[in-house]
Amino acid sequence: MMLLYLAGPYRGAVQENIARARRIAVEVWEAGHVALCPHLNTAHFDVLCTGVPDDAFLRGDCLLIRAVAAVGGGMLMLPSWRSSAGALDEFGLARRLDMRIWEYGRVDIRVIPAAECIAPSVHVTRAHHGGLA
């Protein structure tokens, strides 16, 4: 059993992205792992939480990623993660923390953690900098 942080797009097609993350979180649990799915943890909070700065949610995700890293957990990148600024930041933080990272659709979730990771072999660049601390 392994704790996996699910990283992928949230904005844009919010309902679709939340639904996809939920489906994959179910797969992770059914495969015998623990899914930490920020899409579900703060679903629609960007609208519901008035007065909370937009970047607070990504900073909170940063804390969650550090907690996952602290217990030896990994990160599972969801479909279309490369087109998401937030997911790219999460990926970068996970790499800096030397977390094991897998890409959904390219790994059999049932064999994590034995499955080959995509990091550090994947190099991703992005025009936007800001990143997670």
- CATH number of the domain within which 24 lies: 3.40.50.10400
Determine the Cα–Cα distance for residues 4 and 76; give it in Å rounded to an integer: 6
Structural domain including 77 reads 3-111
Asked whether residue 20 is domain-assigned, the answer is: yes
Helices (H) and strands (E) in the chain, counts: 5, 4
Residue 46: per-residue pLDDT: 82
Asked whether residue 90 is domain-assigned, the answer is: yes
Averaged pLDDT, groups of 10, the chain, 133 residues long: 95 94 97 94 85 88 96 96 94 95 92 75 45 47
pTM of full prediction above 0.85: yes
Asked whether residue 121 is domain-assigned, the answer is: no
User: Number of structural domains, the chain?
Assistant: 1
Cβ partners under 8 Å of residue 36, min gap 6: 3, 4, 5, 6, 64, 68, 73
Residue 4: per-residue pLDDT: 97
Residue 118: per-residue pLDDT: 75
Cβ partners under 8 Å of residue 65, min gap 6: 5, 75, 90, 93, 94, 97, 99, 132
Asked whether residue 85 is domain-assigned, the answer is: yes
